[in-house]
């Protein structure tokens, strides 16, 4: 049975109370990957996958999820500033549907508006060179996305 693809809060209801989550920042050329600790307090960068073909990309993501005993995925959904969904959001939803056909781990969608630009500003503020920023931006965006989702889940549980 394919995995459910749901908004973050609805997906959280399908995840066990404990267990790592894998956060994804889906780009056209790369996929930034982050992971949470089993208590879902902190997101940490894992790697940036250079996109090849969907099957190879999905195989790597599922291997990372298995290595970390992940209980679900958080996929950044690039919503436009006006709240509408454009081609990038549609592409992300298509990726989620394809990934869902290969796993039973629930996939939560999280609004990632401005995540890449926020991370870029942070890296510029840290005086990271343009070349180094390009190499780490997607992984850092995945951290930003996953940490935002973890913080939202924490405030929902009343742990804040």
* Phi, psi for residue 135 in degrees, rounded to 5: -75, -25
Residues 12-34 have pLDDT tens digits of 999 999 999 999 999 889 999 99
CA distances to 23, 25, 104, 130, 156 from 95, rounded to whole Å, are 14, 12, 15, 29, 27
* pLDDT, tens only, 37-84: 999 999 999 999 999 999 999 999 999 999 999 999 999 998 887 888
């Amino acid at each position: 049975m394919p995995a459910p693809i749901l908004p973050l809060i609805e997906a959280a209801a399908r995840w066990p109370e404990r267990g790592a989550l894998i956060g994804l920042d889906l780009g056209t050329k790369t996929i930034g990957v982050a992971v949470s600790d089993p208590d879902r307090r902190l997101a940490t960068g894992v790697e940036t996958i250079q996109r090849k073909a969907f099957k190879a990309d999905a195989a790597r993501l599922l291997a990372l999820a298995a290595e970390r005993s992940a209980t679900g995925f958080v996929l950044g959904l690039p919503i436009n500033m006006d709240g509408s969904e454009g081609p990038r959001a549609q592409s992300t939803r298509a990726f989620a549907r394809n990934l869902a056909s290969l796993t039973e781990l629930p996939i939560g969608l999280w609004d990632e508006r401005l995540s890449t630009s926020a991370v870029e500003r942070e890296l510029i503020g840290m005086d990271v060179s343009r070349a180094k920023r390009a190499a780490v931006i997607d992984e850092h965006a995945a951290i930003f996305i996953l940490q935002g989702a973890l913080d939202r889940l924490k405030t929902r549980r009343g742990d804040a």
